[in-house]
Amino acid sequence: MATATFRVWRGDREGGRFQDYSTVVSEGMVVLDAMHRVQAEQAHDLALRWNCKAGKCGSCSAEINGMPRLMCMTRLNQLPLDKPVTVEPLRAFPPVRDLVTDVSWNFEVKKSIKPFKSRVPDAPDGTWRMAQKDVDRVQEFRKCIECFLCQDVCHVLREHRKFAEFAGPRYFVHMAALEMHPLDVEDRTAELKGTHSIGYCNITTCCRKVCPENITITENAIIPLKERVADRFYDPLTKLFRILRGGDSRRSTGPPR
């Protein structure tokens, strides 16, 4: 049977290094299977997260050959196995141990977002009526499995470390889901511009490219939200200018603002 080598980051908060593990690979295996095999046979204390093994829970996020991906949905036959496969934790977040990172910041951001607030029911029995086509748009956002791969890849967080000011793509998707929810009557425009700094996003589309749920994060969520902010806070000319500028990613190389 074939074997493959996995170059796995082992370490903790203080630091760590890559360690190579060779293991037998068989048909249909995914990276998570390989990590489990390493764990069972060679490194009992290897730390990793997983739950569903089917791309539904968003627990097993890691960087595989430098790309943020779900370990359970990355087939080994999609990777070149003639050289070691690197497996490392999400680099935007503080390491805990091995492949586990401290993602608690994300949960705090969510708490800071104004929750869903519904309009009064449409029918006397206390229920609402919604058309499927209005629901479709928001259901796309609600597919999010909170894997935080998009957060990991976003340069505003990863390079510029704007954790204190910037909500990140996952939470723009979340806010888009709330703002476009057919029943929601809350207004989050001021916070989008203020505490969540949607303006830092310069539509590089990196987040959209890594989303395992194929959510069109930039076009369907972030840009419409930016438009709402622009409609509220800027005159039409500035708005046009900003959209044009925001749409061109090559122009911004340095930290935003």
Partner 1 sequence: MPEYTTHTYDVLVIGAGGAGLRAAIEASAAGVSIGVICKSLLGKAHTVMAEGGIAAAMGNVDERDNWQVHFADTMRGGQYLNNWRMAELHARESPDCVRELEAWGALFDRTKDGRILQRNFGGHKYPRLAHVGDRTGLEMIRTLQDHGIHQGIEVHMECTVLKLLMDDGRVVGAFGYDRERGRFLLFKAKAVVVATGGIGRAYKITSNSWEYTGDGLALAYDAGADLIDMEFLQFHPTGMVWPPSVCGILVTEGVRGEGGVLRNKEHRRFMFDDIPEPYRTQTADNEEEGWRYTQGDRNARRPPELLTRDHIARCIVREIKEGRGSPHGGVLLDISWIKERIPNAEEHIKKKLPSMYHQFKQLADIDITKEPMEVGPTTHYMMGGIKVDGDTQMSTVPGLFAAGECAAGLHGANRLGGNSLSDLLVFGKRAGYYAACFAKKSGLGPVADAQINLAASNALAPFERTNSAEGPYQVQQDLQEMMQNLVGIVRTGGELEQALPELERLGERSKHLAVSGNREYNNGWHTALDLPNLLTVSEAVTRAAIERQESRGAHFREDRPNKDPEFGKVNIIIRKGPAGEMQVIRQPVPAMPQELKQIIEEMK
Enumerate binding residues for ligand SF4 (CB under 6 A).
Answer: 58, 144-150, 153-156, 169-170, 173, 201-207, 210-213, 215, 217-218
Q: Which is nearer to ligand FES, 30 or 192 (CB)?
A: 30
- Shortest reach from residue 30's CB to partner 1, in Å: 6
Nearest CB to partner 1, comparing residues 125 and 235: 125
CA angle in degrees (0–180, nearest 5) for 114-115-119: 110
Binding partner selected for residue 115 from partner 1, ligand SF4, ligand FES, none, CB under the kind-specific 5 to 8 Å limit: partner 1
State both tokens at 81.
Answer: 């196995």
**Window contacting ligand FES (CB under 6 A); options: 47-55, 124-132, 223-231, 246-254:** 47-55
Candidates 163, 183, 145; CA nearest to 54 is 145
Total Cβ atoms within 10 A of residue 251:
9
Piece of the chain touching ligand FES by CB under 6 A; list 49-57, 171-179, 198-206, 235-243: 49-57
DSSP β-ladder status, 100-101 and 67-70 = unpaired
Q: Is 19 left (phi over 0), alpha (psi -120 to 50) or beta?
A: beta
Q: Which is nearer to partner 1, 118 or 249 (CB)?
A: 118
For residue 173, the partner it binds in partner 1, ligand FES, ligand SF4, none, with Cβ less than 5 to 8 A by kind, is ligand SF4
Three-state secondary structure call for residue 7: strand
Q: Which helix (H) or strand (E) holds 227?
A: helix 223-233
Least distance from C-beta 228 to ligand SF4, angstroms?
Answer: 16
CA distance 230 to 238: 8
Going 68 to 71 to 73 to 75, the CA torsion angle's sign is positive
CA distances from 207 to 32, 85, 148, 201, 221 (A): 22, 23, 10, 11, 11
* Contact pattern from residue 72 through residue 111 relative to ligand FES, giving x for each residue in contact according to CB under 6 A and a dash for the rest: x---------------------------------------
The residues, any chain, with a CB within 8 Å of residue 122's CB and separated by 6 or more, are 128, 129
Contact positions with ligand FES (CB under 6 A) in 56-75? 56-60, 70, 72
CB 205, min distance to ligand SF4, A: 5
Rounded least distance, CB 29 to ligand FES, Å = 14
Q: Would you count residue 214 as binding ligand FES (CB under 6 A)? A: no
Q: Are 121 and 128 in contact (CB under 8 A)?
A: yes
16 binds ligand FES (CB under 6 A): no
> For ligand FES, how many residues bind (rule: CB under 6 A)?
12
What does the binding site for ligand FES look like in residue numbers (CB under 6 A)? 50-53, 55-60, 70, 72
